[in-house]
Structure 1
Amino acid sequence: MLRNIPPILSPDLLQSLRAMGHGDEIVIADANFPATALASRCHRLDGVSATDVLEAVLRVMPLDSFVPDPALVMEVVDDPDAVPPVVGEFQKITTATADNPVALERLERFAFYDRAKTAFAIVQTGETRLYGNIILKKGVIGT
């Protein structure tokens, strides 16, 4: 057992988070996301919401402070200015939990998929709310 590690983070997911280097990206994806088809490493957390996973990941992983957009969400198709409720929650969690709170930036759906293909890992959650997808860029831990 370990202390201060959110229990929803599986051993395999913790290993990926630890193995990631500065600038590597991880995707937290909803249940509809084509994670297995896109990922070189796919971690499944069925039954767990994307918001819970985001909060858990941000408790152990720093966001990159050297880029303007270390957290990206998927734009709503045909309404790029829309903010789905789950994205509003992502913003609240990022603001409250991240060591480097940022405004979430948006990517068009297919650009998001292309970016996800290059991610270090994708976490497939049980999130059923549409557009419950976010990409996080790992930062560094300062001394």
Structure 2
Amino acid sequence: MLIGIPNLLTPDLLRHLKAMGHGDELVIADANFPAEACAARIERLAGASATEVLRAILTIMPLDSYVDHPARTMQVVGDPDTVPDIVADFQKIIDETADHPAKIRGVERHEFYVEARKTYCIVQTAETRLYGNIILQKGVVPPS
């Protein structure tokens, strides 16, 4: 147990978050996401939802303020303008929790998979809502 660190974040996940540098990205993925096919580094939080994990990570990891879209989600196949409830929840969490609130950008499904393969780590959750996947780009931690 640590003060100020959400209990949801495992020691291995904390190590990955700390090891990531400015501009590195991670995926918070739902239970259906093909994590094994997309990443060498996978952390599984089998008892947590994607929204719980997003909130926990954003309490300790800054979003990149040097890019236009440090948060990206997968667009609904066949209806890219639809915003699934979970994506609306992601946006609310970013607005409330992130050090640098940013508007989420939707990415076409196959392009999302291409982008996911380039990320530092995938955090696979127990999320069962469809389209419960988000890519986050890490920002700079300023000197204290």
Match of 1:33 in 2: 33
Whole-angstrom distance in 1 between the partners of 2:104 and 2:118: 19
- The size of the alignment, in residue pairs, is 143
1:84 positional shift: 0.4
Q: Deviations over 1:66-107 (max 9, x none)?
A: 000000000000000000000000000000000000110011
Aligned AA (1:42): I
Q: What do the CA deviations read for 1:16-72 (whole angstroms, capped 9, x no partner)? A: 000000000000000000011211100001121000000000000000000000000
> How far 1:133 sits from its partner (Å)?
0.3
Taking the aligned partners of 2:2 and 2:67, their CA distance within structure 1 comes to 32
Instruction: State the distance in 2 between where 1:14 and 1:141 align.
Output: 15
Mapped to 1, the partners of 2:4 and 2:121 lie a distance apart of 23
Secondary structure of the residue aligned to 1:18 is helix
Asked if 1:111 is matched to 2:120, the reply is no
Paired-residue identity, %: 60
Correspondence 1:74 to 2:74: yes
Paired residue type of 1:54? L
Partner of 1:96: 96
Unpaired segments ≥5 residues, structure 1: none
Look up the SS of the partner of 1:90 in the other structure.
helix
CA distance in 1, matches of 2:19, 2:96: 25
- Once residues 50 and 74 of structure 1 are traced to their aligned partners in structure 2, the CA distance between those partners, rounded to angstroms, is 14
Q: Aligned equivalents of 1:40 and 1:111: distance in 2?
A: 19
1:81 corresponds to which letter in structure 2?
D
Determine whether 1:128 maps to 2:131. Answer: no
TM-score normalised by L of structure 2: 0.98
What's the RMSD between the two structures over aligned residues?
0.6
- In structure 1, C-alpha distance between the alignment counterparts of 2:123 and 2:9, rounded to whole Å: 10
Q: What is the SS of the residue equivalent to 1:60?
A: coil
CA distance in 1, matches of 2:125, 2:21: 23
Q: Which residue is 2:48 aligned to? A: 48
The TM-score normalised by the length of structure 1 is 0.99
